[in-house]
């Protein structure tokens, strides 16, 4: 697993080398521009870069939310994310993939997750990013607890729409 070192792109649609993948679960915020640069630096073979950033919003399932606390089991979570990326590599021609998922207490408007993909072509990049997000929402072992404006704490399960989105890939 690469922890921030610049990687070399693959040529001729070969399967990605493990060093082309970066998975990190962290408390600290991330810099979207830096992550984009990691996907594109010294990468002359890919014509598409797609990324998604998930943010903390004020409403969830009709309830006003003040904070979100994300917990995970170190080691298990990274393994699950790695398995999701491996499956994406088997389904799509991707060259680079970066996943950053934050844990801890998050406030409104905080960034939560970054999923970035580079590929030779846009459709592969778009599809891979959507696949990873759909599986991340339903298969990655994160536990979410929301604190509402009234002070109630609610443990949140995967939404039905997220489960249906993931089922499209089965």
Q: What is the CATH number of the domain that holds 98?
A: 3.90.1170.40
Q: What does the DSSP 8-state code read for residue 70?
A: E
The whole-number pLDDT of residue 15 equals 54
Return the higher-pLDDT residue of 51 and 164: 51
Q: Quick one: what percent of the chain has pLDDT higher than 90?
A: 75
Please count the structural domains in the chain: 1
Is residue 115 a part of any domain in this protein?
no
Span 95-102, mean pLDDT?
Answer: 97
Q: How far is CA 159 from CA 66, 107, 164, in A?
A: 19, 21, 9
Instruction: Supply the range of the domain harboring residue 79.
Output: 18-108+125-167
Instruction: Tell me whether residue 45 is in a domain.
Output: yes
Residue 7: inside a domain:
no
Is pLDDT larger for residue 7 or for residue 41? 41
Token output for 32 = 């979207």
In a domain, 6, yes or no: no
In 3D, which of 14, 25, 108 has the Cα closest to residue 71? 25
166 to each of 40, 92, 96, 102, 135, how far by Cα in Å?
Answer: 28, 16, 22, 21, 6
Residue 1 lies in a domain: no
Does residue 120 lie in a domain region? no
CB 93 within 8 A of CB 148: no
Asked if pLDDT for residue 163 goes beyond 70, the answer is yes
Maximal CA-CA distance, the chain: 56
Q: Give the residue, 16 or 66, on which the prediction is more confident.
A: 66
Share of the chain above pLDDT 70, in %: 89
Indicate whether 9 belongs to any domain.
no
Q: Could you read off the pLDDT of 110-151 as tens digits, one per residue?
A: 999 999 999 999 999 999 999 999 999 999 999 999 999 989
Q: How many CB atoms are closer than 10 A to CB 87? A: 15
Q: Is residue 140 part of a domain?
A: yes
Closest by CA position to 154, among listed 45, 67, 80: 67
């Amino acid at each position: 697993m690469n922890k921030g070192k610049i990687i070399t792109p693959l040529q001729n649609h070969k399967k990605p080398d493990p060093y082309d993948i970066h998975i990190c679960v962290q408390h600290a915020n991330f810099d979207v521009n830096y992550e984009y640069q990691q996907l594109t630096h010294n990468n002359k073979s890919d014509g598409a870069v797609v990324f998604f950033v998930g943010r903390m919003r004020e409403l969830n399932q009709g309830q006003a939310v003040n904070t979100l606390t994300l917990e995970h089991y170190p080691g298990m979570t990274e393994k699950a994310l790695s398995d999701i990326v491996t499956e994406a590599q088997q389904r799509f021609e991707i060259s680079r993939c970066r996943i950053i998922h934050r844990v801890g207490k998050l406030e409104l408007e905080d960034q939560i997750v970054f999923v970035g993909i580079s590929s030779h072509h846009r459709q592969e990049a778009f599809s891979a990013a959507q696949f990873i997000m759909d599986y991340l929402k339903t298969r990655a072992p994160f536990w979410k607890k929301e604190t509402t404006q009234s002070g109630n704490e609610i443990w949140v399960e995967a939404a039905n729409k997220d489960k249906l989105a993931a089922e499209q890939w089965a």
